[in-house]
Amino acid sequence: MKTPFIHNKNRYQQLYKALFGSTINTVLTIISLYFLYLTIPPIINWTIIEANWLGSNASDCTNDGACWVYISVWWQQLLFGQYPSEQIWRLVLCSGLFIVLLIALIFHKHLCTPLQKRLLLISTLFYPVIAFALMYGGFLGLPIVETRFWGGLFLTLVIAVVGIVTSFPLGLLLALGRQSTLKIIRLFCIGFIELWRGVPLITVLFMASVMFPLFMPQGVNVDSLLRVLVGVSLFAAAYMAEIIRGGLQAIPKGQYEAAKATGLSYWQSMFIIILPQAITLVIPGIVSAFISLIKETTLVYIIGMFDFLGIVQFTASNSEWIRYTKEGYIFVGLIFWVICYSLSRYSRTLEKKPSH
Amino acid sequence: MHTITASLLFSALLAPTVFAGTLDTVKERGNIKCGVTNGLTGFSNPDKQGNWEGMDVDVCRAIAAAVLGDSNKVTYVPTSSKTRFTALQTGEIDILSRVTTWTLSRDSKLGLNFAGVNLYDGQGFMVRKDLGIKSAKELNGASICMNTGTSTETNIADFFNANNLSYKTVLFEKSSEVASAYDLGRCDVYTSDKSGLAAQRLKMQNPDDHIILEDTISKEPLGPAVRHGDDEWFDVVKWTLMALIEAEELNITQSNINTFKNTKNPRIARFLGTSGDNGKNLKLAPEWSANIVKAVGNYGEIYARNVGEQSLLKIPRGLNKLWSDGGILYAIPLH
């Protein structure tokens, strides 16, 4: 929707009318301005003017404001957890490749030759393998870095990206399965979806980290991060399935029938006709599911992992820095906001694009 | 400090898994997997370089020094209060060194063996320095800030009634509320577990204005635990703790340990491994206990460095003094 064109002068008049048009509006405006006057200057004062920016010790924070020295001292932990310092280039390489791939995928429409498109497809499919190999190591002389050393923003992104990437195709299959004419498939999908949607994520994490190992035979230890990843993916898939089902149900029956009438098989009609329309319809739902998944990853702190939020608590348990959790939380909140906000902006541009 | 009903239930259902030979496994693997907290000031927290340090961490380093001769051969596994027992039961860790209170139900039903106590924690008092109070018995008529609905309240009632003192309680739901109320001067005294008090003190506007009194009025013996049914490993952990105390009794420190080479004292000679069979009996090297002190120092040094006067926490040693100094630490004879 486009707002009707208003001349600049009119705009000011409208604004004036909205703010001071009536007695109530005037009073509300004055109260709001007073409230802003009370809150904004102290916030700016604390975060910027009186803040401590330089130093390498907690004792360098002599001003009353925020101690941003905390971030500069602990940045490596905040970003990479306890990943060994001399191996961090591997993670930097991984994220570099990830960003290149992401840009290529976003602008893939501009790639013309089929060869380029094929290359992009192949690298997308192989990226997870390469990324995992780089992160974990154990080949070409790269030392193994066990997953218990993974942490910080890196761990949060690993859990979120794996959850997003696996939950989408799984959710798609579950949504289709739920509409299947084969009773056994339909019942299985309904059962799966309702079971996983019926429990909170924290329960899933506890099952994965506390209960599951007790059921395993003696001496069998499945990596704890792997258990969490599987749990998070299945959990997210159940939600994804319901979102996609909403899209499927919104497609008029005529589309299904028309697809059938042109002689397309089930999978052809789904992937060529139905799903492109259905998924475009539910992009906002899908993206908000992704966003809440990213934020829910912070729950892993409770089962002893140092995600981006948990690492703040961990680093602030150093007695020298115990007073500076606030700064850490603000920093983490800011980064979370940047990630989630850019995702939601990207979804807006996707919505505007015509489907196919 | 709370037992999780679920893990109790499940460990009761499943027969406690028997892991024999952790000592051999550890020697073969060349490192110890040690379950610690996910960040608790003074017990297991990151130092400036991001390496682990603390009371609980030093116990693990001492065991690594005793068994493997190198205190750096430890893999720290952060556990939450919910996952700690499962991690030990399933063999994900070799030892749980994570501010865990030794209780009967944990020692029996959960299939743990507590190898001893590395810190006698318990409820204590924090007051403002300028009140000039030295002992909890001087707190007559004080107003006391504390959490609601915990054993904290009953402990206070018992202590004050037993000493014929009057008091007034100021109750809050959350620990952070208790701390800020005390900091703002709404009460004279803040009571909680001493280790917790010490950490909260550092969050006060002026930490140096507050002190923690020596008195301890409840029992929270914190110690490392291993799995049931693995006696060799249990012995190693137990005697590592004993060796730390023995070293302090003998005044052997990290810095002076090399000066005892020609000692005539049989206890010191046994400790250094120049006489006796202590190492052999535990299936360890003869100099196992000397290695411990070289790596982490004696008990007093560990305490001072992590939670005592050399640290920011400054928890008074109280019960954790040697028996000869008025505490309750006592090394069982090492021979």
Does position A242 have pLDDT exceeding 90, yes or no?
A: yes
Can you give the pLDDT at residue B149?
A: 67
Query: Domains plus CATH for chain B?
Result: 5-120+221-325 (3.40.190.10), 123-218 (3.40.190.10)
| H-state helical runs in chain B | 5-13, 22-29, 55-68, 84-89, 104-108, 151-162, 175-183, 194-201, 231-249, 266-272, 278-281, 288-296, 299-306
3-class DSSP assignment, residue B18: coil
The token duo for A106 is 């976003």
Residue of A nearest to B312 (CA): A319
Kindly report the number of other CB atoms within 10 A of residue A248's CB atom: 21
For β-strands B45-46 and B52-53, DSSP reports them as antiparallel
Residue A209 contacts B, CB cutoff 8 Å: yes
Q: A33 CA to chain B: closest CA distance, Å? A: 30
Does position B123 have pLDDT exceeding 90, yes or no?
A: yes
| Residues of chain A with C-beta less than 8 angstroms from the C-beta of B83 | 209-210, 303-304
Residue A304 contacts B, CB cutoff 8 Å: yes
- Please identify which residue in the block is written with the tokens 């090399």: B258
Can you give the pLDDT at residue B16?
A: 44
- What Å distances lie between residue B72 and A62, A196, B63, CA to CA? 36, 43, 10
Sequence-ordered list of residues with C-beta below 8 angstroms from that of B191, at least 6 positions apart, any chain: B123, B124, B125, B126, B144, B145, B146, B152, B156, B197
Over residues B260-271, the pLDDT tens digits come to: 988 999 999 999
The residue ranges of every structural domain in chain A are: 8-51, 66-83+145-352
Residues in B whose CB is inside 8 Å of some CB of A read 6-7, 10-11, 14, 17, 19, 37-42, 44-48, 50, 75, 77-80, 82-83, 86-87, 89-92, 199, 202-203, 311-313
Give dist(CA A73, CA B48) in Å, integer: 8
Can you give the pLDDT at residue B233?
A: 97
CATH superfamily for A66-83+145-352 is MetI-like (1.10.3720.10)
Backbone angles phi, psi at B322, to 5 degrees: -65, 155
Give dist(CA A243, CA A235) in Å, integer: 13
The answer to whether A305 touches A156, Cβ cutoff 8 Å, is no
Residues paired with B146 in a beta bridge? B171
- What Å distances lie between residue A229 and A81, A232, A233, A267, CA to CA? 18, 5, 6, 29
Give dist(CA B238, CA A147) in Å, integer: 30
Q: What is the DSSP letter of A111?
A: -
Mean pLDDT of chain A: 88
Q: Could you say which residues from 214 to 253 on chain A have a Cβ atom under 8 Å away from some Cβ of chain B?
A: 214, 216, 218-219, 221, 224
| Residues of chain A with C-beta less than 8 angstroms from the C-beta of B17 | 218
Give dist(CA A301, CA A318) in Å, integer: 17
Give dist(CA B205, CA B182) in Å, integer: 11
| Residues of chain A with C-beta less than 8 angstroms from the C-beta of B311 | 319
- What Å distances lie between residue B197 and B122, B192, B194, CA to CA? 10, 6, 5
Can you give the pLDDT at residue B174?
A: 82
B79/A304 Cβ within 8 A = yes
For β-strands B112-114 and B74-78, DSSP reports them as unpaired
Give dist(CA B90, CA B198) in Å, integer: 34
A247 pLDDT band, cuts 50/70/90, is: very high
| Residues of chain A with C-beta less than 8 angstroms from the C-beta of B313 | 319
Over residues B282-310, the pLDDT tens digits come to: 999 999 999 999 999 999 999 999 999 99
Give dist(CA A250, CA A191) in Å, integer: 23
Give dist(CA A341, CA A345) in Å, integer: 6
Can you give the pLDDT at residue B20?
A: 63
Residues paired with B322 in a beta bridge? B329
Mean pLDDT of chain B: 90
B82/A214 Cβ within 8 A = no
H/E run at residue A204: helix A201-206
Q: First CA to last CA across chain B, in angstroms? A: 35
**Among residues B74, B114, B70, B76, which one has the least CA distance to residue B292?**
B70
Can you give the pLDDT at residue A138?
A: 83
The answer to whether A142 touches A90, Cβ cutoff 8 Å, is yes
Q: How many residues does chain B have?
A: 335
Give dist(CA A66, CA A48) in Å, integer: 8
Kindly report the number of other CB atoms within 10 A of residue B285's CB atom: 16
Can you say whether residue A138 is alpha, beta or left, with left for phi > 0 and alpha for psi between -120 and 50 degrees?
left
Can you give the pLDDT at residue A15?
A: 86
Can you give the pLDDT at residue A223?
A: 86
Does position A9 have pLDDT exceeding 80, yes or no?
A: no
Can you give the pLDDT at residue A5?
A: 52
How much is the average pLDDT of B141-153? Answer: 86
- Top pLDDT among A114 and A253 is at A253
Give dist(CA A301, CA A311) in Å, integer: 8
Backbone angles phi, psi at B261, to 5 degrees: -50, -40
B40/A213 Cβ within 8 A = no
Sequence-ordered list of residues with C-beta below 8 angstroms from that of B121, at least 6 positions apart, any chain: B99, B101, B193, B194, B195, B216, B220, B221, B222
Percentage of chain A modeled with pLDDT above 70: 95
Query: Angle at the Cα of B314 (from B311 to B317), degrees rounded to 5?
Result: 115
A6 pLDDT band, cuts 50/70/90, is: low
The answer to whether B53 touches A314, Cβ cutoff 8 Å, is no
**Among residues A298, A278, A296, which one has the least CA distance to residue A286?**
A278
Whether complex ipTM tops 0.90: no
A3 pLDDT band, cuts 50/70/90, is: low
The answer to whether B325 touches B223, Cβ cutoff 8 Å, is no
Kindly report the number of other CB atoms within 10 A of residue A319's CB atom: 23
Does position A304 have pLDDT exceeding 50, yes or no?
A: yes
- Top pLDDT among B2 and A134 is at A134
B89/A323 Cβ within 8 A = no
Please state the pTM of the whole predicted model: 0.85
Give dist(CA B263, CA B266) in Å, integer: 8
- Structural Rg of chain B based on CA atoms: 21
How much is the average pLDDT of B79-96? Answer: 89
Give dist(CA A275, CA A173) in Å, integer: 11
Does position A354 have pLDDT exceeding 70, yes or no?
A: no
- Structural Rg of chain A based on CA atoms: 25
Over residues B97-108, the pLDDT tens digits come to: 999 999 998 999
Q: What is the DSSP letter of A87?
A: G
B4 pLDDT band, cuts 50/70/90, is: very low
Over residues B168-226, the pLDDT tens digits come to: 999 988 888 899 899 999 999 999 999 989 999 998 989 999 999 989 999 999 999 99
How much is the average pLDDT of A205-230? Answer: 85
Q: Choose the mutation target among B82, B197, B210 for the interface with A, i.e. most A CBs under 10 Å.
A: B82
Give dist(CA B144, CA B152) in Å, integer: 11
Q: Choose the mutation target among B29, B49, B90 for the interface with A, i.e. most A CBs under 10 Å.
A: B90
Can you give the pLDDT at residue B14?
A: 46
Query: Angle at the Cα of B146 (from B144 to B149), degrees rounded to 5?
Result: 130
Can you give the pLDDT at residue A1?
A: 45
Over residues A58-110, the pLDDT tens digits come to: 888 888 888 999 999 999 999 999 898 889 999 999 999 999 988 888 777 77
Provide the sign of the torsion angle of the four alpha carbons B256, B258, B264, B269, taken in this order. Answer: positive
Give dist(CA B76, CA A81) in Å, integer: 13
The answer to whether B120 touches B318, Cβ cutoff 8 Å, is yes
Can you give the pLDDT at residue A7?
A: 58
Residue of B nearest to A220 (CA): B90
How much is the average pLDDT of B81-89? Answer: 88
Kindly report the number of other CB atoms within 10 A of residue A171's CB atom: 24
Give dist(CA B212, CA B193) in Å, integer: 11
- Top pLDDT among A15 and A339 is at A339
A353 pLDDT band, cuts 50/70/90, is: low
Can you give the pLDDT at residue B170?
A: 92
Give dist(CA B19, CA A216) in Å, integer: 14
The token duo for A110 is 């501009």
B5 pLDDT band, cuts 50/70/90, is: very low
3-class DSSP assignment, residue A245: helix
How much is the average pLDDT of A197-221? Answer: 85
Query: Angle at the Cα of A44 (from A41 to A48), degrees rounded to 5?
Result: 145
Over residues A221-238, the pLDDT tens digits come to: 788 899 999 999 999 999
Which of the residue ranges A14-28, A52-66, B9-23 would you say has the lowest mean pLDDT?
Answer: B9-23
